[in-house]
Structure 1
Amino acid sequence: MSTSTPPGESSEHPDQGGSVPDEQWADFIRQAESGGAGAPKEPSARARMVTARLRALDEEAAQARGAGRPWRRKPAEPWQPEGWRTGPGPQAGAGRPRKGRRLAAVLGFCAILGIFVVTMRPSLVTDHLPGGAGGAGGVAEFDEDRPTPARPFEGSPALSWADGAEGIELPEAEAAGGMSRAEVERALRSTRQLLIAANLDPATLRGERPGAALDLLDPLQKGERKRLERSLAEPTEEQDPLMMFSRFDPDEAQLAGDVVKTRGVMTFEAGDPGSVEVHADYTFVYPLVKPGGDEVARTIVRRRLTTVLHDPKRFEATGGKLSIRTSDQNFGNSACEVNDGFLHPSFPSDTPAPGAGGDDVDPYDRDAWQSDGSCGTVTRT
């Protein structure tokens, strides 16, 4: 059997179009019930479903006509099989936010990594900025080994050395030379104080009188303290305060920052009966700038000092005061033939001085010692 489909209506879904003539419904029902020509003897489930639907529609239409009201079929329910062409389900839809979160996490990690790298190596950015450290209007040139007031030990072996007095460590004391453990410890501590007052005290470095250092020395030692006092008042080649004290002319050079780097060793041994000798070998590295300038130079001073603490019961000595047995020094980056009681560093922009002659000297080499009075050329500062 064939049926015609009104305009806008689907033949496969008769309940989704306009009205079907009553005569056609009745004719269709009669044929289905009588088993007439063209009607299957055993209708399929699809046919039975359609038949039942048509009967319900027919009854609904009849009831509407009997009540004298217009009849329009209800629109079909918008039903679809669950999960079939319904768009992405909850899990599929959740995949996009997860991808977004993963992408955001990756971008966040990259941003944090970039900030960390730039923080550790700002030159990666500043070196490529116009007008940067290397000059205006071009690619910046930046020497990572060049010292600055903020990094005065850059490019120096002393960068990893101890700061100031922290680098002067004492060995464990024990009785020696007829002196008790406490007396030996006093000799060690007094020698440490002497090194600090003579080489690290800001007043001493500014060229002032090193009173704290002088007070540690025994006034009964023949000639020594008087000699040092004269050298401070009237320095000469023979009476040079630099033999004991590190001093700079404040009109010429000032300390860059407040840190001096220090490395060395201190030992002790028995001296003459009733005395203990302390041996100190220390290198001090001074970062310096000219007054009002920002160009950094470094001067290196190495001192070898032997002090003695005597028992006043056996010697003509003052209890607790030190005597000087020997004092030697090497200077790196200081004018060799100037004897005014100050160290005179050379800065990179200074006019090169005439060759001083002598051997090349590495002032950081603690295995070598340059004889007193000789001049040489430092290989690095």
Structure 2
Amino acid sequence: MGTSTPEGRAGDEPPVTDAEWAEFLRRAEEGGRDAPVEPSARARMVTGRLRAEESGGRASRWSARPRKRRRLAPVLAGAAVLGLAVVGIWPEVVVDRLPGAVSATGADAAPLAPETARPTAAPPGEPFPDAPTLKEPFRGSPAVAWADGAAGIEVPAARAVGGMSKDQVAHALRSTRELLVASNLDPATLRGGHPAKALRLLDPLQKDGRVLLEKGLREPREDQDPLRLLTRFDPAEVRVVGEVVKTRGRMTFGRGDRDGSVEIKADYTFVYPLAKAKPGADEVTRTIVRRELTVAVYDPARTVTTPGSLVVVAWKTNTGNSDCAGDGDGFLHPQFQEDMTGLTPGPSGPAVDPYDRSRDLGALPQECGTVTRT
């Protein structure tokens, strides 16, 4: 996880006990309503977790991927003004819905109401959640009741603020939504393609914003990592299962750091179901990415900036289930249970629930650690 702020900007499940394991086997043998749908697969997963505990760690290779801190430079007054065409919402973004989404127990999941404030606790889990499948990739996840794709990114009603008109604020909010969609849901971006749609929304004058991302896409490394804003997977390694990415979060806005500016804060979690790219791969895993993004829009009549563009104020990211050994290469690297057999535990840092949205990302551990569930 990492945090970035500008310099003078312008603008686990718990460990499985013996008693729980015995209860699990009893339910599986009885075949009752709550018995696991795939007991053999569940047994392999839990057994692997127990082996990891006996080795001194809990499934620690299912790691939370941190981002190192980096400061962002501002768009300074006096810089040349460049034109920027702000495009509309992309028609090919991931907005489809899976018909009849299924909960962990197989029943229809009632959709959650939109998030309007920070939750007070993590969503509840199950001691033995059902494993995801190619047909039901969100099975066993709290995200099964979350919104699908861009439908989960709602824009608040605009109002005049900070010397910006209602129309200017509405434009800034729409642009922020478009940026979130283009950088976290666009199929081309997820496949590791060039995120032209996302980049076009950012001010080209900001060296530690759009310019930094462009450098990171050409030469990715830890100090210029495109994953600070973009969600990207190596298409030779994994593929997104189905057409839906689950989304939950909220967007707020207020006066910026000066008259003639508006600042938008977005806090969203994205859940990606994934399978290996190799033919015939059928194990499904999930990677969970939470982003806290703050951007600003400035009135070009008062501040020299690219008209209609977004200036990055701060970005924080925490990723659950991505191999920390791949840090700096520009891609997320999901971990699969089939690769865990016989391996000694990897990172043994603090455990984090990637579905817990009750705490600010700045309050979470900065080092690579473990996730309690995916």
Structure 2 length-normalised TM: 0.63
Shift of 1:184: 0.3
Match of 1:28 in 2: none
Shift of 1:169: 0.5
- Residue 285 of structure 1, aligned match among 263, 267, 271: 271
Residue by residue, what CA displacement relative to the aligned partner does 1:96-137 show, whole Å, maximum 9, x if unpaired? xxxxxxxxxxxxxxxxxxxxxxxxxxx989x9xxxx9668xx
The SS at the match of 2:325 is coil
Following TM superposition, the consecutive aligned residue runs of length 4 or more in structure 1 with deviations greater than 3 angstroms are 132-135, 370-373
1:301-316 equivalences in 2 (<5 Å) = 301-316=289-304
Counterpart code for 1:376: G
- Cα separation, 2, equivalents of 1:335 and 1:245: 17
The SS at the match of 1:283 is strand
Q: Does 1:341 align with 2:326?
A: no
Counterpart code for 1:207: G
Shift of 1:224: 2.2
The SS at the match of 2:329 is coil
The SS at the match of 1:349 is helix
Shift of 1:144: 7.1
Residue by residue, what CA displacement relative to the aligned partner does 1:194-247 show, whole Å, maximum 9, x if unpaired? 000000000000001100000001112344222110101111111111001000
Q: Does 1:164 align with 2:157?
A: no
- Cα separation, 1, equivalents of 2:248 and 2:129: 24
Shift of 1:281: 0.2
Counterpart code for 2:304: E
Match of 1:326 in 2: 314
Counterpart code for 1:348: Q
Shift of 1:345: 0.5
Q: Does 1:380 align with 2:373?
A: yes
Change (3 A) 1:144 1:361: closer
Give the number of the structure with larger relative contact order, counting CA–CA contacts within 8 Å between residues 6 or more apart: 2
Q: Does 1:295 align with 2:288?
A: no
- Cα separation, 1, equivalents of 2:253 and 2:317: 19
Change (3 A) 1:304 1:376: same
Kindly indicate whether the alpha-carbon contact (under 8 Å) linking 1:329 and 1:372 is maintained by their aligned counterparts in 2.
Answer: no
- Cα separation, 2, equivalents of 1:337 and 1:275: 40
Q: Does 1:367 align with 2:353?
A: no
The SS at the match of 1:342 is coil
Counterpart code for 1:273: D
Kindly indicate whether the alpha-carbon contact (under 8 Å) linking 2:38 and 2:130 is maintained by their aligned counterparts in 1.
Answer: no
Equivalent pairs: percent with the same residue?
Answer: 56
Shift of 1:327: 0.7
Kindly indicate whether the alpha-carbon contact (under 8 Å) linking 1:260 and 1:287 is maintained by their aligned counterparts in 2.
Answer: yes
**Which structure dedicates a bigger proportion of its chain to helix?**
1
- Cα separation, 1, equivalents of 2:365 and 2:205: 27
Give me the CA root mean square deviation. Answer: 2.3
Kindly indicate whether the alpha-carbon contact (under 8 Å) linking 1:328 and 1:372 is maintained by their aligned counterparts in 2.
Answer: no
Kindly indicate whether the alpha-carbon contact (under 8 Å) linking 1:220 and 1:316 is maintained by their aligned counterparts in 2.
Answer: no
Match of 1:201 in 2: 186
- Residue 140 of structure 2, aligned match among 138, 152, 155: 155
- Residue 350 of structure 1, aligned match among 332, 336, 339: 339
Match of 2:63 in 1: none
- Cα separation, 2, equivalents of 1:164 and 1:310: 29
- Cα separation, 2, equivalents of 1:177 and 1:144: 47
Change (3 A) 1:318 1:153: same
Shift of 1:165: 0.3
Match of 2:228 in 1: 243
Match of 2:195 in 1: 210
Counterpart code for 1:340: D
Structure 2: gaps (5+ residues)? 1-30, 41-104, 106-127
Structure 1: gaps (5+ residues)? 1-122, 136-141
Q: Does 1:253 align with 2:238?
A: yes
Change (3 A) 1:231 1:373: farther
Larger Rg: 1
Shift of 1:371: 4.3
Change (3 A) 1:289 1:215: same
Counterpart code for 2:369: G
Residue by residue, what CA displacement relative to the aligned partner does 1:151-200 show, whole Å, maximum 9, x if unpaired? 00000000000000000001111000100000000000000000000000
Match of 2:166 in 1: 181
Change (3 A) 1:321 1:148: same
Counterpart code for 1:170: V
Number of equivalences:
249
- Cα separation, 1, equivalents of 2:337 and 2:298: 47
Kindly indicate whether the alpha-carbon contact (under 8 Å) linking 1:221 and 1:317 is maintained by their aligned counterparts in 2.
Answer: no
- Cα separation, 1, equivalents of 2:39 and 2:295: 50
Shift of 1:322: 0.7
Kindly indicate whether the alpha-carbon contact (under 8 Å) linking 2:38 and 2:131 is maintained by their aligned counterparts in 1.
Answer: no
